[in-house]
Structure 1
């Protein structure tokens, strides 16, 4: 019965999300007043529209060099960014079974040759900065950092997509159906009408979960903790019963694991310290850091981590390993970790190489992490700050000489049958169809292995499954974890969205103070959090406060001030959005 209630809750949430996304639209009537000149739309030398979509369809196709089937009469070439995750046992991200599928399809359908340019996933912000500075960024580029795009747009290094989107809308039906006006116009400047990037659609809003070893709780005859005090007592029980739980490897005990990215890996804890009545205005003004570093009472959550660190409850080496390093995951797989906070389905990812599968091989069939809700806020709510329905930002550098071919590429990968194949692959090889009509992913090896979950690095216009039917989508998501009891997925899915607050679009145009400081502020934030956790308890306030003030002096305060002014310019004395 409980599983049935969980599934019904999941379906209700997903259906509501779909209806909200379908019903939301953004005013796109603003005309583009970009200061950089509009480059050629193709080899013919003709220019893009200045914002007027007049002209017959035939004349536009002729101008772009397209025939009536939307194939270029002369072969065009584009480059596309692809993340390189450095997966052991993976395939070259720029040359594999799935890139061949895309290349063959684009050449067949549009006479466009595609070349993939690999960019390291874990340093993508730095690398895309360098490529843009050197005028070597791929024609279709992707980043999670909008300020990076804005910085180069201000220097004339990024194309304004607004005129192209307006004129070419009728040849991009699949792109529009998937993203809708909401994501296409999400970043449109309310004054100039410029669009420097498209926001990919985040199809599943699940974000983060808190996980604990279910088998350890049973062995210690403990219930899952439901508040901060109980969670701390659980960690102490893990520490104090290390010999019982780990035997002769008791010295390897790690009650609670975090990483150098404290803001992400302590999210549920830090969120619980934020007052439940925080306004939309304050979330906008102080929420520009994606780890919520500037929200009220954040410091007190880090104080808890400082205390736990000195009580032997936190992994001592958490700050030593960079993004992508497998050390922490290997400790989880070996069975030494009792609890952690991470991506909503993190222990169940990657099939036979998942934490879940590895743990059961190493420890036994009962060993497993289960998602829990354990950090209520001041209102007793297990609040989660969920993402708005946006994901990666897709943009075209000014060096892109084929914007129409590039838009057709985005439309091609947004077409349902193409993204379905990229997400599921071949039936009987990488997926099977279940009796209820849902789809189940199969672990693949060799050339057909996927380097990222559901190939999200190739489906850059969408992150997460969207099968057009909410019920089918949720069932297929639950099927997608080889060797994992569906119960764990259902619990994790529901826990990650329960009592969530979905982000809203506050469109006030460019925040100039954010330009060029994003990476530096990110590094300062990570540094102060790492230092504050390991600082002597007596020095915590001094270390935290000095690092926080340095963050503000280095651009944080200027961003706060400009965001506050922009909010008041567009929304007056309102503190909440409709």
Structure 2
């Protein structure tokens, strides 16, 4: 099915592109500005959030449009793409020849797949940015500075062909996943904050066994620990704690195709623990029935949940409608999820395998239907300007923030036109994920969640990157086998996780191993082998499985 889809898209591109591959400098660009107004379209996520604004037309887009027109004489038009359907949406827009001039996605292989879709003249479906980055390097300095150097501008440069199909965004804050637990429940039961897996397990058992004391008439709704169908993300800290601390960077690369760390040696034992918890009634029994977060969030807000793992700021997000503030309103002032860091590996370290600051966030690319590559590159440079980022992240004083005496931005719960559709306006700061405010960043982070105590925010952020390990970046070019499998491996992985967690304890190994074999036969084994081959070909490293 995926190969058929790729063929259909490729044929559609052949019919719609007709783009020449030759590069030519833009003669209408003089002294850093176009002599005649140019027009580009830019992708913007639509999250369809309640109380939000039209993502294509609001105060933030007006600021960006005006800035681009004044600085470069470029008109900008925004194109809405569904946040949760973005891969399919962009694929369809590409096939129709209507993809935004500036597009972005989280999937590296998604872009490589587009680049491999060539027209009748052999031109790829994505513009090779290498000649533009060289010709106009004086106009990409904001991007270079944001990414931390010119090397990172060429982070994905193909070592064989020299092609650059995308520009990486940067994670200004690399904090990732944190574990949260109900401190008020611990206090009622006379338990301390867990510092080990055993203590965490004992707390879950205590929640289950004391449901009537903790929930009264709602005791049957007790959920000691909640998760979702995205087992790999939502339980990462537990699962990677079973990976040996001395694992090599080469092994992390060879088995690092899956961003949920499925193939890391030892990972299975973490899933085994989840299976044990599920069979003991410690995990939300209905987690496999829901693919979105609404019901799970409602359970947390209502006060039925004891603990969970998620993005480091998850219980603080969404302003007045966040989980913690709803919990306090529904249960009591003392009700609060607080961060803990308790899953230790064989070296006694609460290890996190982190995405590097560059290479683990969104990737920006220009489809070949783009007739204004220079104007598009200038847009990417514009949104990478630290002053532009600061405005988009902080907004208008009195509406979005108050400036404190020490220079921090105290974020306010904005309303009306000043609402941000995404945290820190991440959908507009597409090259920057996380606060990027210089010396004011740390203090601002603590004040970025109205109503949440600053110490809890700071601790959650610190725990999300505490003992973080950033695997070495091996740039071996495109792993062709990865681009061929599409989402089939992701679907199989999630099936594996859900079925393995919910299997009986006796059937766990057969279910897990059987589905893992299917995963490997679908393309996992080919990916591992190709990674080993490329590692030796480019770096001379011989790796034995």
Give, in angstroms, the shift of residue 574 of structure 1.
6.9
Instruction: Give the match for residue 226 of structure 1.
Output: 195
Instruction: Give the match for residue 397 of structure 1.
Output: 367
SS at match of 1:80: strand
1:143 to 93, 105, 121: 105
SS at match of 1:187: coil
Matched, 1:288 2:280: no
Instruction: Give the match for residue 79 of structure 2.
Output: 117
Aligned residue runs from structure 1 range 354-433, under 5 A: 354-390=322-358, 391-433=361-403
Instruction: Give the match for residue 3 of structure 2.
Output: none
Contact 1:39 1:48 in 2 (8 A): no
**Could you tell me how far apart the structure 2 residues matched to 1:183 and 1:140 are?**
19
Contact 1:141 1:394 in 2 (8 A): yes
**Could you tell me how far apart the structure 2 residues matched to 1:502 and 1:38 are?**
42
1:468 to 428, 432, 438: 438
Instruction: Label 1:162 to 1:39 Cα distance change in 2 as closer, same or farther (>3 A).
Output: farther
**Could you tell me how far apart the structure 2 residues matched to 1:38 and 1:375 are?**
54
Instruction: Give the match for residue 8 of structure 1.
Output: none
**Could you tell me how far apart the structure 2 residues matched to 1:443 and 1:336 are?**
27
2:213 to 235, 239, 244: 244
**Could you tell me how far apart the structure 2 residues matched to 1:404 and 1:107 are?**
14
Give, in angstroms, the shift of residue 95 of structure 1.
1.7
Give, in angstroms, the shift of residue 79 of structure 1.
1.1
Instruction: Give the match for residue 345 of structure 1.
Output: 313
Instruction: Give the match for residue 24 of structure 1.
Output: none
SS at match of 1:319: helix
Aligned residue runs from structure 1 range 179-578, under 5 A: 179=147, 180-323=149-292, 325-390=293-358, 391-469=361-439, 472-573=440-541
Give, in angstroms, the shift of residue 172 of structure 1.
2.4
249-258 or 564-573, which deviates more? 564-573
**Could you tell me how far apart the structure 1 residues matched to 2:100 and 2:517 are?**
38
91-100 or 261-270, which deviates more? 91-100
Instruction: Give the match for residue 6 of structure 1.
Output: none
Q: Runs of 5+ in structure 2 lacking a partner?
A: 1-16, 118-123
**Could you tell me how far apart the structure 2 residues matched to 1:93 and 1:327 are?**
26
Normalised to the residue count of structure 1, the TM-score between the two structures is 0.87
Contact 2:445 2:458 in 1 (8 A): no
**Could you tell me how far apart the structure 2 residues matched to 1:300 and 1:548 are?**
14
Instruction: Label 1:453 to 1:392 Cα distance change in 2 as closer, same or farther (>3 A).
Output: same
Number of matched pairs: 519
Matched, 1:81 2:81: no
**Could you tell me how far apart the structure 1 residues matched to 2:491 and 2:219 are?**
35
After superposition, give the CA deviation of every residue in 1:448-467 in whole Å (9 maximum; x if it has no partner): 10011100000001111112
Instruction: Give the match for residue 25 of structure 1.
Output: none
Contact 1:319 1:530 in 2 (8 A): yes
After superposition, give the CA deviation of every residue in 1:78-132 in whole Å (9 maximum; x if it has no partner): 1111111121111121222211211222222222221111111122223223332
After superposition, give the CA deviation of every residue in 1:300-339 in whole Å (9 maximum; x if it has no partner): 111111111111111111122224x411111111111100
Give, in angstroms, the shift of residue 38 of structure 1.
11
Give, in angstroms, the shift of residue 376 of structure 1.
0.4
**Could you tell me how far apart the structure 2 residues matched to 1:446 and 1:183 are?**
38
Q: Runs of 5+ in structure 1 lacking a partner?
A: 1-36, 42-46, 50-59
**Could you tell me how far apart the structure 1 residues matched to 2:386 and 2:270 are?**
43
Contact 1:159 1:396 in 2 (8 A): yes
Matched, 1:108 2:70: yes
Contact 1:186 1:505 in 2 (8 A): no
SS at match of 2:286: coil
Taking only aligned residues, the RMSD between alpha carbons, in angstroms, comes to 1.8
**Could you tell me how far apart the structure 2 residues matched to 1:411 and 1:321 are?**
40
344-353 or 177-186, which deviates more? 177-186
Aligned residue runs from structure 1 range 129-168, under 5 A: 129-155=91-117, 156-168=124-136
- The runs of at least 4 aligned residues of structure 1 exceeding 3 Å deviation read 37-41
**Could you tell me how far apart the structure 2 residues matched to 1:304 and 1:318 are?**
16
Contact 1:90 1:450 in 2 (8 A): yes
Give, in angstroms, the shift of residue 75 of structure 1.
1.9
**Could you tell me how far apart the structure 2 residues matched to 1:414 and 1:501 are?**
27
**Could you tell me how far apart the structure 1 residues matched to 2:503 and 2:54 are?**
42
